[in-house]
């Protein structure tokens, strides 16, 4: 894809799942990638894997809900790679409780990671993008940032819906500065996040899994690489006229 070679990206939640696949794909396109996560052993291993494949990568601990962490990581990324052009706000946690089951602590934790973390990422990287003459921010929302799903996961829906609208708000604010901001909305993707449903022996979870597949017109889970491909496109100059938009990679879920 055009314009990616020698660019610098921060990917959050990059130790595994969609973040790991995205870091690998960007590195394959010639991007220098700073992988970040709270799972440091797995994150270090992913960065090493990219280095072994001939890519350029490093790992740093980053809890996306912690403002001081963001300040430190952005500073060290610029010291190490000289600039920041791409931010993939991917880190997130999945939650299941519905309106009545959810606790205040649970709700606040989900918002802190899935929503506040995305805002902090934009806040601390945008000055660096401005200094580089522009950039691309890709915020990973969800189909559940747009539709009501199964009526559960209230905090997750709240946060992912906010990610969708923060994306549009920031896109409008920074369009004239050549900083593009888009959201990606995965359907159900085969990552550790959904293993609590997919690999459960609980009949209720097994029923949910077959409902998920039944509600996906393509009848299968997505692959992390299929989200990474969309992210790479949005990061690249091939998406030069895309901003404030929402991109669904969901096997047809939201078409119904
Ligand atoms: P995953 O396999 O659980 O990977 C997410 C990574 O983020 C994990 O390494 C996780 O570590 C890390 N993380 C959790 N809290 C963090 C924090 N405070 N700071 C930094 N990193 C943190 O999940 P995934 O399926 O790849 O999901 C990636 C993104 O896609 C998420 O935003 C998710 O909501 C979204 N998404 C996923 C699906 C799906 O079906 N998989 C569908 C729609 C949207 P821990 O293990 O410690 O939590």
Taking the centre of ligand 1 as the mean of its atom positions, its distance from the CA of residue 140, in whole angstroms, is 10
Residues with CB under 6 A from ligand 1: 12-13, 15-19, 37-39, 62-65, 90-93, 113, 140, 142, 186, 188-189, 191-194
Task: Enumerate domains of the chain plus CATH numbers.
Answer: 8-187+224-243 (3.40.50.720), 194-221 (no CATH)
For the chain, how long is the longest CA-to-CA vector? Answer: 53
State pLDDT tens for residues 139-176: 999 999 999 999 999 999 999 999 999 999 999 999 99
* Distance of CA 133 from the midpoint of ligand 1 (Å): 30
- Quote the pLDDT of residue 196: 83
Task: Kindly state the tokens that stand for 105.
Answer: 């602590």
What pLDDT score does 67 carry? 98
User: What pLDDT is stored for residue 122 in this prediction?
Assistant: 99
Annotated catalytic residue, options 59, 124, 156, 174: 156
Q: Calculate how far, in angstroms, residue 15's C-alpha sits from the geometric centre of ligand 1.
A: 9
**pLDDT value of residue 59:** 98
Probe target for ligand 1 pocket from 15, 17, 59, 87, with the most ligand atoms within 8 Å of CB: 17
Parts of the chain with a pLDDT under 50: none
Q: Is 156 a catalytic residue?
A: yes
Q: Which helix (H) or strand (E) holds 59?
A: strand 56-61
């Amino acid at each position: 894809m055009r314009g990616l070679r020698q660019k610098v990206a921060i990917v959050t939640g990059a130790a595994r799942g969609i973040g790991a696949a995205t870091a690998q794909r960007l590195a394959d396109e010639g991007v220098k990638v700073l992988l970040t996560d709270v799972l440091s052993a797995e994150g270090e291993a992913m960065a090493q894997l990219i280095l072994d494949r001939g890519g350029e990568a490093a790992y740093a601990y980053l809890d996306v809900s912690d403002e001081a962490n963001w300040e430190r990581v952005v500073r060290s990324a610029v010291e190490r790679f000289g600039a920041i052009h791409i931010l993939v706000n991917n880190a997130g946690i999945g939650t299941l409780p519905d309106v009545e089951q959810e606790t205040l602590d649970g709700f606040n934790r989900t918002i802190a990671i899935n929503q506040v973390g995305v805002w902090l990422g934009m806040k601390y990287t945008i000055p660096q993008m401005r200094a580089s003459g522009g950039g691309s921010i890709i915020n990973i929302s969800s189909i559940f940032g747009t539709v009501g799903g199964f009526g559960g996961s209230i905090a997750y829906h709240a946060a992912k819906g906010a990610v969708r609208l923060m994306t549009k708000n920031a896109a409008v604010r920074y369009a004239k500065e050549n900083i593009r901001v888009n959201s990606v909305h995965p359907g159900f993707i085969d990552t550790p996040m959904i293993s609590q449903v997919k690999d459960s022996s609980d009949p209720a979870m097994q029923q949910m899994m077959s409902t998920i597949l039944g509600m996906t017109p393509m009848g299968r889970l997505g692959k992390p690489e299929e989200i990474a491909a969309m992210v790479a496109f949005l990061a690249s100059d091939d998406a030069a006229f895309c901003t404030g938009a929402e991109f669904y990679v969901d096997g047809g879920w939201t078409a119904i």
